[in-house]
Amino acid sequence: MGARRPARALRLCIALHHRLYSNIRPARLYHWWRMQIMDLIRLRVSRGFSVDSIGPNEGRVLFDGTAAFVSGALALAFCRAYAPTSVSRRDLLLPIVLPVLLIVFNALLGIYTRLRLAFARTKALTLCASVLLSAVTAGLAFGTWSLVVLWAMLATGPIVLARLLLSLHTGRHRTLANIAIKSRGPVLIIGGAGYIGSHTVDLLLKRGQSVRVLDRLMYGDGSLAEFRGHPRFCLIQGDVTDIAKLSAAMRDCSAVVHLAGLVGDPSCAVSPEFTRHANIIATRMAREVAESMGVHRFVFASSCSVYGLSDTEVGEADALNPVSLYAHTKVDSERELLSSVRDEFFVTVLRFATVFGHSPRPRFDLVANLFAAQAMTEGLITVVGPNQWRPFIHVRDLARAIVIVLTADPRLVQSQIFNVGDKRLNMTILQLAERVRDCAAKYRQAELSVTEDPQDRRSYAVSFRKIRATLGFEAATLLDEGIQEMVEHFRADHYNHYRSPEYSNVAMTTKALASFQDPAEMAHLYAPLNID
């Protein structure tokens, strides 16, 4: 009879899990759990194991496990002292088994996920149910009901009381999840005058959202010209590390989208010091100001360049392999943002695929755009590193992904990393060049000049299953359509020569570096606020 008890307990756990998730397909549920566990392990390892690195959820798990273990040890000691005949050698495992069961049932019932921001009464009842389920499961498996019942009595008090005490100051207010879902203020787009930002501004305004842009306008404000005078649009010129401008821009905002920084290996190589200032220090300041001013949603633009070199398709939970300063700054910024994130601060990291396509602020340092420019102006596409793999995505689709994250249930995207792209756009550089040549052939014949590049070791194909399964995102503009649009703009003479400094991130970075090295400018950026 005793041998059957563990099997009965296992069947009970399986039945409960099926009951909770009966509306989810098994394959999709498996992939969801796998992604969650791998993400958790990767983030845990990347943050280190100091006390300061413990996140809120990890603190809950440690507290619940410790309380359950101590309660189990006390119950076992009491039973051995006053009823030694009722305790078998196998029962010595209960102080270890019971904490594991409690944490598992807490996770299944949503204590560490969807109920983190629920009212105290809901959490208390759920925790009581979790303790009861753990006790019943252990009782069926071990048969020592007196010990298990005593454990349940000892464990329920501290586990439930801790949640009630922590919820005293917010008990009368709406849950922070609802506050974050309801966009009561404008969305601040840091770097909103840029290549991706201008499209994001357009989409948000069309949705009826108020938008505020903070941008140093390295490339001018022409990309935002059509929004001037719009009643729901505001432009603030300034650097993100200018604390006064950043604080003014973030006041009363409902969300922050951080798109600013130096982009691409050549521009980042101009000055490593300036790159760290623009890509890491700026991100740290934006997060700290957002948290201090009560902004609950923060979306950060990272890059699939963090994968660097991989022979297999890589996903969010796979190891990172940055091979450039640009990629290293993105990895460091991700860690800055995801380290010890509070429950009420909803951070989402978007790792963008290699972007292409037309934008009000054109760029021709992007490989697909560069190939289109070479085909239409010179009739010769220079292919360097033909066998290197890249994922591609149209700039409008990146803007769509940002809007989807901003409007998603915050509990789905909190502390999550998403690769943003579409598997249909994974291809080699040579395949890209051939597709561009074919798109341009209607107006101009172009030849390919192919050479290897031993210096650029990047090659990676990326998985986008997570963003598709979680948020339903897929590319709306595929490669041929996006390239054809650029070809038409070239035919209509909407661009200057693609080698013009206005399209060069390197030229503009060099210009910005002169201001960065000016002592007066640095003193202004980091000066304390004047409070009247």
Q: What is the pLDDT of residues 98-112, one digit of tens each?
A: 999 999 999 888 888
Task: Specify whether 292 is located in the same domain as 361.
Answer: yes
**CA–CA distance, 482 with 423 (Å, rounded to integer):** 16
Task: Specify whether 366 is located in the same domain as 232.
Answer: yes
Domain boundary among 173, 208, 236: 173
Mean pLDDT (the chain) is 84
* Among 62-76, 208-222, 343-357, 504-518, the least confident range: 504-518
Whether the predicted pLDDT of 423 surpasses 80: yes
Domain boundary among 173, 206, 225: 173
**349 forms bridges with which residues in the sheet?**
300, 417
Domain boundary among 142, 173, 204: 173
DSSP assigned state of 207: T
Under the banding of pLDDT at 50, 70 and 90, the label for residue 54 is: low
**CA–CA distance, 65 with 102 (Å, rounded to integer):** 8
- Provide the percentage of residues in the chain whose pLDDT is more than 70: 79
Task: Specify whether 147 is located in the same domain as 243.
Answer: no
Whether the predicted pLDDT of 38 surpasses 70: no
pLDDT value of residue 11: 54
Residue of 301, 299, 319, 300 lying closest to 309 (CA atoms): 319
pLDDT digits (tens, 9 = 90+) for 432-477: 999 999 999 999 999 999 998 766 777 889 999 999 999 999 999 9
Task: Specify whether 73 is located in the same domain as 217.
Answer: no
Quick check: is 531 in a domain? no
Angle at 432 between CA 426 and CA 433, to 5 degrees: 165
Task: Specify whether 314 is located in the same domain as 198.
Answer: yes
Specify the number of domains making up the chain.
Answer: 2
Task: Specify whether 108 is located in the same domain as 15.
Answer: yes
Task: Specify whether 163 is located in the same domain as 203.
Answer: no
Domain that holds residue 55: 4-173
pLDDT digits (tens, 9 = 90+) for 306-357: 998 888 899 998 889 898 899 999 999 998 898 766 777 889 999 999 999 9
Whether the predicted pLDDT of 359 surpasses 80: yes
Angle at 159 between CA 154 and CA 162, to 5 degrees: 130
3-state secondary structure of 198: helix
10 Å Cβ neighbour count for 52?
8
* Among 130-134, 186-190, 240-244, 480-484, the least confident range: 240-244
CATH number of domain containing 325: 3.40.50.720
**451 forms bridges with which residues in the sheet?**
384
Whether the predicted pLDDT of 151 surpasses 90: yes
**CA–CA distance, 85 with 83 (Å, rounded to integer):** 6
Task: Specify whether 135 is located in the same domain as 234.
Answer: no
Whether the predicted pLDDT of 412 surpasses 90: no
Whether the predicted pLDDT of 261 surpasses 80: yes
Rounded average pLDDT over 246-265:
91
* Single-letter amino acid, residue 144: T
